[in-house]
A = this chain, B = another copy of it.
Amino acid sequence: MYVRVLTQLRDSGYDVVSSQQLGGLLQMTPAQIRKDLSYFGRFGKQGRGYNVQFLREELRQILGLDRKWPACLIGVGRLGQAIINYPGFVPEGFNVVAAFDSDPEQIARPIGGILVRPMEDLEQAIRESNITIGIVAVPAREAQKVIDQLINAGVRGILNYAPIAPKVSMDIVIRNIDPVLSLQSMTFYLMHEDAIPIIRR
């Protein structure tokens, strides 16, 4: 979120930003901004704010956002096709370099510029292309098995679109994209107008 806001500031022509301004944009207190950034070094001079371009590049480097992250996609149904054709990934360094499906009819089909491969090729492809991220777009009933296969094949990051709560060990980095769960997490607060929503963006 910091990097995104700093990119917006840079593109709007700002050279310097204060922790007050960052706090306003990120809906956090200036104290929290200063605390967050202090974990990683000294980016600002007391009373002079942060250099937008410098802070953005430092954070991108710290977070690994200045590299390429080859990823593989499992499941090339309607959702998988939407994912592989999503234009937002490549500019940010996330390239889907291999796609897999368990359905024999999908194998060798071209999709998003690559050919769909059988699940048997998974381990070899992950090793050869140095893939660290697996994107899971299979039906719910197959998702845990596929996630286990990805992890066994050496992937440590999982972006899961299946509507399940996968079980993974603590050293695996997993994020779930689940619009139904997002909606379900809102309804309590919509019923109780006096309840302050937990910030969980």
Chain A residues engaging chain B, CB cutoff 8 angstroms:
1, 3-5, 8, 24-27, 62-65, 67, 69, 71, 82-83, 86, 88-89, 92, 94, 132-133, 156-157, 159, 163-165, 167, 170-177, 179-191, 193, 196-197, 200-201
Q: Whole-angstrom distance from the CB of A93 to the nearest CB of chain B?
A: 8
Integer count of this chain's copies in the complex: 2
Q: Which residues of chain B have C-beta atoms less than 8 A from A200's C-beta? A: 175
Q: Which residues of chain B have C-beta atoms less than 8 A from A190's C-beta? A: 64, 69, 132-133, 156-157, 173
Q: Which residues of chain B have C-beta atoms less than 8 A from A64's C-beta? A: 187-188, 190-191
Q: Whole-angstrom distance from the CB of A144 to the nearest CB of chain B?
A: 11
Nearest residue, chain B, Cβ from A188: B63
Assuming the A-B contacts A65-B184, A92-B184, are A197 and B179 also in contact, with contact meaning beta carbons closer than 8 angstroms in the complex? no
Grouping DSSP codes into helix (H, G, I), strand (E, B) and loop, the A interface class, with mixed when no group exceeds half, is mixed
Q: A175 contacts B167, CB within 8 Å?
A: no
Q: Whole-angstrom distance from the CB of A20 to the nearest CB of chain B?
A: 14
Assuming the A-B contacts A167-B27, A170-B196, A196-B170, are A183 and B62 also in contact, with contact meaning beta carbons closer than 8 angstroms in the complex? no
